Structure 1
């Protein structure tokens, strides 16, 4: 090894390969060229974007004037109806129809944020697996090659993520379709190419389906625009889950022992299948439960508001049930995303959350219901989803101007304040005064003459 470069002969011996050093040197030069963007050990997401856009734009179709006109009309009517079903105000940005490629470009920052902890974990684990298997005399070679091999894992992961996002772009019909806020807050979009395929499969008139989908998308956009904290709240909880992911190092070490850098197909297949991600830890399960409750609250509210807004649509029940079933089942691309990052975004409690929002709205009105999104600490809890009665009682008491009933936290705070008040009454000021009034308590030199 010279000047930090990799010695092909040493690397050949370390890997146990019987290969001419000149041939290996040429192979390594080609290989380093393939991953030139990751030579500093960081993960280059350019491969994700290239792969995703390649799949999204493969048909070369855009949005026709007719499609744009039809969806603009659906958005306009759905917006009017939605204003009767919620007090949350319309978004400032006009809803629009976009292409699959535009969806990829606008959502990639979120997919990268979701996937980065897993990509980093896999890249680090691959480097450590190679280091642990190399004999002591070869550690200098491994150290030199470490960043390159880290780039292998990261670049392969980035490419696989691009495959998943590209395939998702062929399935989603709106910006909120995947269940998490992948579009900028307050943005409402529909993908006409995928919408046409959805309608053909459901055998529902296109105009009725367009009204329902447009209303759902606008409801989501209004919610995330109104509750400005909500988007960060969702993504933070996804981050809490993703940061807890640890790669199955035993499986990766076994794979690294026979990894051929020029044909990393086995590593690619392992990434696709999720074989490198072990069972969820208890901490991850708790994080996932919190995330599922939050997503259920979001989806349940959208479901109720959309149903109220589109109550004039003749086949509303059929459309709503078809969309719920589609969301619950997911698709091949969502399954692939789950295998890649270990997270399947299916809000299992959406029906229960929708029933809670329905009960709250009927009891106290839509204004009081929607005000629960004003601040994070007003949001319903998992217990409220199970039994909305206590939440409704609190809201009804608030409407009557009654002070809310004290809970355990209020009682603990009141007790703490009482103890602090008692301490202040018996504090240094009071003690000093008592001593001054008592001649016997004065030091000897302070006795009056």
Structure 2
């Protein structure tokens, strides 16, 4: 977990800067939130907002009522961060991306049973990526922000809670601004790095839309000494492979989202631990804790004692999310390697660059570490790739891809510890299924009529399990 999730704590921790302009309390800003907007402690929030050239319309954003994160502010902040280096895409880049994705799909057809998931191809600028993925980020982040706000509010000292009561509406809007500012900063940084719409391992683009970000593809290629066409095609293979999974594994998108939301539901406050931490923090303040002193309140918020402790439910959700993301990335690595084969001479170097990028904290790790405390471990990705590679080698690509037909068939986190044991069990299961099919040939069992039921399913009123014994 980050020390200050979603930016809770003072915006400026430099005491000298906080003290400039006087230490008196501003009645219009009793909690010192003006520091969030670059204020020096004096003047009304309206005056402070008026001094911000990047957020000239921030006063309108203070009326936000669309949820726990002010997404108007997040968007505006991220775009202002991207403005200096923004490069719109050209018609030539659109054509190059479309051709690369078309060829990638043709190559993937030869190595996987899953059909293409691409309905349209686009070349995005960094701002395009931001605009097109914001709805997906909203669905992921809003539940987390809502739970964090509730946990932090319930953990406030009694004195602060009493003060906050009459100003709950203002504090709610301020919370939205705080979240919006931090999320916007994170997404602006992410937009500088992502090379495809699925670079963070999640389906962020509209369904069926495959995209590359040419400006970031050029940055990815820098220093690799590989032709631009080869790098573009390698990344197009990865993008097209992701889309095959997300388009034809109907439960995958929802499972990933549910894991993030399960983490959010697990956020709660250990009142005793919070109380002990508050007592220690307030006791350690010079002159004691004074709820009327905005600097003391900001010091308390920034101490970390109000951060909710990670719960067993959260740990389980993160483990499930980490495993599922590793399985997605591992499958993509394997099928891209098979599709590239001898066609891309530089595939080995490009794949190694991608592995190093992930190991050093690429976009996925940075984003999830900020938003949900998840750190993707390269070991899990290697283990997942080992499972998929061994499945194809021992049982064929069709058996490998069939594991995506139901979440219960996928390797668990424990299975990734012993990939070859898992693959061996799949072989025994396949042999058992073949023997079952031989013994029950010609019997009218549940599932033989083309439905999704399987032989022996309890849905048949209990008659299914008896049929094999009668045969």
Q: Report the TM-score range of the alignment, normalised by the length of the smaller protein.
A: 0.7 to 0.9
Deviation at 1:230, TM superposition (A): 0.6
Task: Return the alpha-carbon distance in structure 2 between the equivalents of residues 265 and 43 of structure 1.
Answer: 20
Task: Return the alpha-carbon distance in structure 1 between the equivalents of residues 309 and 361 of structure 2.
Answer: 21
2:312 corresponds to 1:282: yes
Number of residues of Structure 1 aligned to a counterpart in Structure 2:
391
State the TM-score, normalizing by the size of structure 1. 0.74
The structure richer in helix per residue is 1
Corresponding residue number in structure 2 for 1:295: 325
Identify if the C-alpha distance between structure 1 residues 403 and 201 changes in structure 2 by more than 3 Å, giving closer, same or farther: farther
Identify if the C-alpha distance between structure 1 residues 26 and 194 changes in structure 2 by more than 3 Å, giving closer, same or farther: closer
Deviation at 1:181, TM superposition (A): 2.3
Report if aligned partners of 2:68, 2:145 keep a CA contact under 8 Å in 1. no
Identify if the C-alpha distance between structure 1 residues 36 and 96 changes in structure 2 by more than 3 Å, giving closer, same or farther: closer
Corresponding residue number in structure 2 for 1:84: 110
Which whole-Å deviations, capped at 9, do the CAs of 1:343-372 have from their partners, x for residues lacking one? 334564111111111111122221222122
Matches within 5 A, 1:231-250: 231-246=253-268
Identify if the C-alpha distance between structure 1 residues 55 and 274 changes in structure 2 by more than 3 Å, giving closer, same or farther: farther
Task: Return the alpha-carbon distance in structure 2 between the equivalents of residues 63 and 171 of structure 1.
Answer: 16
Corresponding residue number in structure 2 for 1:107: 133
Match of 1:391 among 426, 433, 436: 426
Task: Return the alpha-carbon distance in structure 1 between the equivalents of residues 278 and 141 of structure 2.
Answer: 19
Corresponding residue number in structure 2 for 1:328: 359
Runs (5+) with no aligned partner, structure 2:
1-22, 31-41, 50-58, 283-288, 440-454, 467-471
Does the residue aligned with 2:88 lie in a helix, a strand or coil?
coil
2:165 corresponds to 1:143: yes
Deviation at 1:154, TM superposition (A): 2.7
2:325 corresponds to 1:316: no
Task: Return the alpha-carbon distance in structure 2 between the equivalents of residues 201 and 354 of structure 1.
Answer: 27
Identify if the C-alpha distance between structure 1 residues 277 and 326 changes in structure 2 by more than 3 Å, giving closer, same or farther: farther
Does the residue aligned with 2:199 lie in a helix, a strand or coil?
coil
Which whole-Å deviations, capped at 9, do the CAs of 1:186-218 have from their partners, x for residues lacking one? 332110010000001333322221111111110
Which whole-Å deviations, capped at 9, do the CAs of 1:269-290 have from their partners, x for residues lacking one? x5xx988645532222222222
Task: Return the alpha-carbon distance in structure 2 between the equivalents of residues 114 and 84 of structure 1.
Answer: 34
Identify if the C-alpha distance between structure 1 residues 37 and 79 changes in structure 2 by more than 3 Å, giving closer, same or farther: same
2:389 corresponds to 1:363: no
Matches within 5 A, 1:88-237: 88-125=114-151, 127-128=153-154, 132-134=158-160, 139=162, 142-237=164-259
Task: Return the alpha-carbon distance in structure 2 between the equivalents of residues 289 and 295 of structure 1.
Answer: 10
Task: Return the alpha-carbon distance in structure 2 between the equivalents of residues 191 and 205 of structure 1.
Answer: 17
Report if aligned partners of 2:62, 2:177 keep a CA contact under 8 Å in 1. no
Instruction: Name the larger-Rg structure.
Output: 1
2:103 corresponds to 1:68: no
State the TM-score, normalizing by the size of structure 2. 0.71
Does the residue aligned with 1:201 lie in a helix, a strand or coil?
coil
Deviation at 1:92, TM superposition (A): 4.7
Task: Return the alpha-carbon distance in structure 2 between the equivalents of residues 180 and 329 of structure 1.
Answer: 19
Match of 2:383 among 326, 344, 352: 352
Alignment root-mean-square deviation, CA: 4.0
Deviation at 1:95, TM superposition (A): 2.4
Task: Return the alpha-carbon distance in structure 2 between the equivalents of residues 150 and 22 of structure 1.
Answer: 16
Runs (5+) with no aligned partner, structure 1:
1-16, 405-409, 422-449
Match of 1:27 among 41, 44, 54: 44
